[in-house]
Copies of this chain bind each other. A is one copy, B any other.
Amino acid sequence: MNIQGFLFSTVEAAIKKPGRRDLALIYSEVPATAAAVFTTSTVKAAPVLVSCEHIACGTAQALIVNSGNANACTGEPGMIVAKETAHLVAHRLGIDDSAVQVCSTGVIGVPLPLERISSAIPQLVEGLSSGTLDDVAQAIMTTDTFPKMEAVCGTAGGKTYSVAGIAKGAGMIMPNMATMLSFIITDAAVDSDFLQKLFRNAVDCSFNAITVDGDMSTNDTCLIMANGMAQNPLIREGSIEGETFAALVCDVLLSLAKLIVKDGEGATKFVEIRVSGAKDNSDAKRAAMAIANSSLVKTAFFGQDANWGRIFAAVGYSGAEVDQSRLSLRFDDVCMARDGIFAGGDAEALGTEILKQKEFTVSVDLGIGSGTATVYTSDLTHEYVSINADYRS
């Protein structure tokens, strides 16, 4: 996959521990149209505040990201580190500070040592011709067990372009705290307003289908850069090319989002939760998220226990409008309950077999309207507790 005009570099800055590349740079040879979605938490990390200000103009040319330290809850000193990081990168690359996006992920509340970053930047910039996007995907990992990357191609006005993305995040079992970073790059030329709009929509149907709005970490950032090096005619809203491009971006984000769930901390199951028959789509999302976030449902998945009653109970407290006598539930194609009660027959045995699979679908029909939603979740395991009890040690 060749995404024209983008260069990559990674180095070991030993921010948390030595022994791995923990600082990465993505650089576009020309300024790129850019859009970003940041955490909605009121406690925002310094790099989020800096990046949010920098991207206000709708363009970006470089992105520097470190793992091992979130630079969150670090006060004014943290802001200085984030700004100085952008400045040093900009200076080396000969671009404006505001063209640099800064991202961090890792432990909260520990000062991020500027000197380790500043001393690594020369080597980082020098290495730009030799790195790959895959190297960056590796460098941004924290508790992730594998790097997450996806790429697709499209055409516009006879020109072929590529859309590639990487992501990190493995704490989606409890989506509201694990930092989720995702960077999408494309060599397509895209209208700026359209890029903002389609990117927000794509985030809603992907990363926001594995997390709850407003329940994000201090550092969550999704960013897209479109540098136009494919030399296609500008992709605009309302065109066939626009629809295709938006769909491709959605595909890339949804693939990355699913990879995050599959890499969920300690996860042994990948579960698709589909809710239908809700009063409206918001109600469906509410019910689906209540199921997906319930510790009792998730431990039952881990235990391969077809305890469908816990799923109905989660729907009951979700806030969605419910008539309990109309609820039905399936594990894959096995009906576990209908009209609010157990389906009987072999359902228990068949449902248990479904839950023994590594991946399965839970479908709940509320039976009162036409609202639908799909979200993705994993199970809650001993390993999740181990990972998070010992995270800083």
User: Does A75 interact with chain B (Cβ within 8 Å)?
Assistant: yes
User: Does A321 interact with chain B (Cβ within 8 Å)?
Assistant: yes
User: Does A231 interact with chain B (Cβ within 8 Å)?
Assistant: no
User: Does A229 interact with chain B (Cβ within 8 Å)?
Assistant: no
User: Does A57 interact with chain B (Cβ within 8 Å)?
Assistant: no
Q: In residues 216-245 of chain A, which contact B (Cβ within 8 Å)? A: 216-218
CB distance from A19 to the nearest CB of B (A): 22
Whether A385 lies near B388 (C-beta < 8 A) is: no
User: Does A207 interact with chain B (Cβ within 8 Å)?
Assistant: no
Whether A43 lies near B307 (C-beta < 8 A) is: no
Q: Which of B43, B309, B392 makes the CB contact (< 8 A) with A322?
A: B43
Whether B385 lies near A313 (C-beta < 8 A) is: no
User: Does A296 interact with chain B (Cβ within 8 Å)?
Assistant: yes
Whether B389 lies near A303 (C-beta < 8 A) is: yes
Interface segment out of the listed A5-13, A121-129, A156-164, A336-344: A336-344
Most buried by B among A111, A217, A313, A325: A313
Whether A321 lies near B42 (C-beta < 8 A) is: yes
Q: In residues 351-393 of chain A, which contact B (Cβ within 8 Å)? A: 380-382, 384-386, 388-393
Q: In residues 259-278 of chain A, which contact B (Cβ within 8 Å)? A: none
Q: Which of B75, B107, B216, B390 makes the CB contact (< 8 A) with A303?
A: B390
Whether B177 lies near A314 (C-beta < 8 A) is: yes
Collect the chain B residues with CB atoms within 8 Å of residue A389's CB.
299-300, 302-303, 305
Q: For the complex, would chain A's binding face be called helix, strand, loop or mixed by DSSP majority?
A: loop
User: Does A214 interact with chain B (Cβ within 8 Å)?
Assistant: yes
Whether A317 lies near B382 (C-beta < 8 A) is: no
Whether B322 lies near A42 (C-beta < 8 A) is: yes
User: Does A173 interact with chain B (Cβ within 8 Å)?
Assistant: yes
Collect the chain B residues with CB atoms within 8 Å of residue A325's CB.
75
Give CA–CA (A337, B42) in the complex, Å. Answer: 17
Interface size bucket, A side? Answer: 35 or more
Q: Which of B214, B295, B319 makes the CB contact (< 8 A) with A319?
A: B214
Give CA–CA (A316, B73) in the complex, Å. Answer: 11
Contact with B along A93-119 (1 / 0, CB 8 A): 000000000000001111100000000
User: Does A171 interact with chain B (Cβ within 8 Å)?
Assistant: yes
User: Does A70 interact with chain B (Cβ within 8 Å)?
Assistant: yes
Whether A43 lies near B315 (C-beta < 8 A) is: yes
User: Does A183 interact with chain B (Cβ within 8 Å)?
Assistant: no
Q: Which of B77, B173, B174, B341 makes the CB contact (< 8 A) with A294?
A: B174
Whether B302 lies near A75 (C-beta < 8 A) is: no
A309 and B388 in contact, given A174-B296, A316-B41, A325-B75 (Cβ under 8 angstroms): no
Whether A41 lies near B313 (C-beta < 8 A) is: yes
User: Does A331 interact with chain B (Cβ within 8 Å)?
Assistant: no
A73 and B305 in contact, given A44-B324, A385-B381 (Cβ under 8 angstroms): no
CB distance from A219 to the nearest CB of B (A): 9
Closest partner residue, chain B, to A306 (CB atom): B392
* A residues at B contact (CB < 8 Å): 40-44, 70, 72-75, 77-78, 107-111, 171, 173-174, 176-178, 214-218, 294-296, 299-300, 302-303, 305, 307-310, 312-317, 319-322, 324-325, 327, 337, 339-342, 380-382, 384-386, 388-393
7 nearest A-B pairs in the assembled complex, by CB-CB distance: A108-B309, A43-B316, A303-B389, A109-B309, A299-B388, A41-B316, A75-B341
A-B contacts besides A73-B324, A216-B317, A300-B389, 17 pairs, CB < 8 Å: A42-B316, A43-B313, A73-B327, A73-B341, A74-B341, A75-B340, A107-B309, A108-B312, A109-B308, A173-B295, A174-B295, A295-B295, A299-B384, A299-B388, A303-B388, A380-B385, A382-B386
- Ordered by A's residue number, 6 sampled pairs between the chains whose C-beta atoms are within 8 Å are A42-B320, A44-B316, A72-B309, A215-B317, A303-B389, A305-B393
